[in-house]
Amino acid sequence: MKVIPTAIPEVLLIEPRVFGDDRGFFFESFNSRLFNEAVGREVNFVQDNHSRSVQGVLRGLHYQIVQPQGKLVRAAIGSVFDVAVDMRKGSPTFGKWVGEVLSAENKRMLWVPEGFAHGFQVLSETADFLYKTTDFYAPQHERCVVWNDATLAIDWPADVTPRLSQKDEQGLTFLEADVFA
């Protein structure tokens, strides 16, 4: 696999080695040894999630203030614009964000470590989004930063008002949100 640094050093774009011919393709979507070498530490995933969304849906920006989750994310069908926001107050990249297009076509994955808010917007007609997490979902600890926060100024690629869940419509601004020490 190829590891591509992003503007935030801990967030990594991962390109698997793809073997393809006129019959289709094969790639190893996860290898614990190679992944741990790439991120420079032992990472244990405890949960796999799969969501399907239609075009224009925006999910996020989510994080858990207790039981923080690292996430390895990818689009198995369709394409998404995926975003990670540094919520670690002591970090030199606190309040910064990175965004990448992840698609079934490019087969790229994004490693979003603990301490980051995460969200994505569906660019294709539909998208199946797969992600592994380093801790279990804990709704009592979940937090949400509003997608269009003025301080973060995320440059979402779609020019339409996104389709949001009720929970995401009620997200807090970055300045109001709980952060990691």
Q: What is the pTM of this model?
A: 0.94
Does the active-site annotation cover 131?
A: yes
Nearest partner of 56 among 81, 31, 77, 38, judged by Cα: 81
> pLDDT of 47-79, one tens digit each?
999 999 999 999 999 999 999 999 999 999 999
* Omega of the bond leading into 34 within 30 degrees of 0 (cis): no
Does the active-site annotation cover 63?
A: no
Using DSSP's 3-state secondary structure scheme, residue 171 falls into coil
Q: Which of 50, 63, 131, 141 is catalytic?
A: 131
Reading the block at residue 163, the tokens are 């389709």
> pLDDT of 66-122, one tens digit each?
999 999 999 999 999 999 999 999 999 999 999 999 999 999 999 999 999 999 999
Cβ pair 59, 168 in contact under 8 A: yes
140: exposed, middle or buried (C-beta count within 10 Å: 0-12, 13-18, 19+)? exposed
User: Which DSSP letter does residue 162 get?
Assistant: P
CA distances from 104 to 119, 128, 158, 162, 163 (A): 18, 9, 18, 21, 22
CA–CA gap between residue 117 and residue 60 (Å, rounded): 8
